Amino acid sequence: VTGGGTGMGRELCTQLSSEGCHVAMCDVSAENMAETKSLCEADAPSGTSITTHLCDVSVESEVNKFREEVEAQHGPVVNLLFNNAGIGGGGSFLMDERQDWEKTFGVCWYGVYYGCRAFVPMLVASDEAHVINTSSVNGFWASLGPTVPHTAYSAAKFAVKGFSEALINDLRIDAPHVSVSVVMP
């Protein structure tokens, strides 16, 4: 689970672990992940493994390091991948700093792409697997209203939606035991 330190990522981790799923979460905040891990351990059945991994999903080498740590601590097979990490920012292409735009796009789009590149081979190695990519309602409507630009976030979430839809077909052909869902909160 990427972005496991807070919000939807935290909720995913707590629900999965309460059902006995072993969970590997990553986030940029060790403190937030420690809190999530504590919440998970409170309700998880005995023997459930919950690991935390510092990772900025906009940096491919960090996502690959996360994968290596997951493999070392959980084994070579993964059944579920939640590409959930996201941030806001980079609202206006014209008025906001390019670095803000690129950071938002990097986390919200490239985090999904790098996550799939890193982990899909581990999902393909399983008997049954599922990729869940988090997009947004802004992947349908590129606006927060007529006076609020939301360019980077919307463009990234449109990319996640389109990629996920295309990946459904790609995996149906080349790895039919791996399915894909896109979530549009």
Active-site residue list? 153
Residue with tokens 């292409």: 93
Write down the H helix ranges in 75-150.
98-105, 111-124
Q: What letter represents residue 122's amino acid?
A: M
Cβ atoms of 142 and 90 closer than 8 Å: no
Cβ atoms of 27 and 1 closer than 8 Å: no
Residue with tokens 């493999």: 71
